[in-house]
Structure 1
């Protein structure tokens, strides 16, 4: 229940092998230090109930669920997971995306995911906005492809034309 101390001022004591946290002089946690640089070493018991609720989830399970809704939904979930340094940080966002199917239905969610991918708006809040404003029911207007003329072509006059 260490999450109770979120946003509280705590003191820490680090040794070569141990990390200790103190709140108002009382030790609230003690852990063996991890030598893994840039990696999370969270103790499950210290997680909030919301984070513990997603412990049983993993990327393949989320992708499989998204695939049942449609290929664009699966692609969006995969993109959200790839955007995070640690895919586990994207689990809640993926669950939020998948929950939109309850409110809007699989077909609308699939169309919204297609639009989100097309316009590179892959956050959960962007998807919510697309669904809320009914943009999933409208076609995405893309800019026409630019055509470039080759450097040498029939309409090139050259410097002799102007003298």
Structure 2
């Protein structure tokens, strides 16, 4: 709980519960211990008022970010989904998701979609990568792909030349 910030507390952990005691040995929190899924438990009553206000004001969760990203395009959805899934606590990715999705207002959906596609190929679906791609116009640069195979030439040798 936020009221115990910077105070010494005692934590008792059993196989099924986590208990927090204040300096008078009074129980101030009791949580079920989790071994699977999201192992973090957030109790809104333990948050300071300004955090609670922000949490209530946003009302955004992973589902809403994914829906918003899906309305922009497949690549944006994939990048946001990867970003949300890569965090131990999904909430830690919310600001990055909001920043990435807000880029659609400045750069447009098509450019954001292209930037997310490039970030996915780079295996770096982060806010800084995607915004850098957009700022530098790298979403507009297409990788060179040879349409035709290299023609046979007398100076080209096969693998048998290296035996």
Matches within 5 A, 1:102-121: 102-121=105-124
Give me the whole-angstrom Cα distance separating, in 2, the residues matched to 1:157 and 1:138: 37
Contact 1:44 1:52 in 2 (8 A): no
Give me the whole-angstrom Cα distance separating, in 2, the residues matched to 1:10 and 1:141: 60
Equivalent in the alignment of 1:41? 41
Which ranges in structure 1 are unaligned for 5 or more consecutive residues? 143-152, 159-163
Report Cα offsets for 1:3-45 as digits up to 9, x if no partner.
894xxx33112346631356xx9x9x92114322471122113
Give the TM-score taking structure 1 as reference length: 0.68
Which ranges in structure 2 are unaligned for 5 or more consecutive residues? 146-157
Alpha-carbon RMSD across the aligned residues, in angstroms, is: 3.2
> How many angstroms does 1:122 deviate by?
0.9
Give the TM-score taking structure 2 as reference length: 0.68
Relative to structure 1, the CA distance from residue 4 to residue 72 in structure 2 (aligned partners, 3 Å threshold; closer, same or farther) is: farther
State the SS of the aligned residue for 2:42. coil
State the number of aligned residues: 140
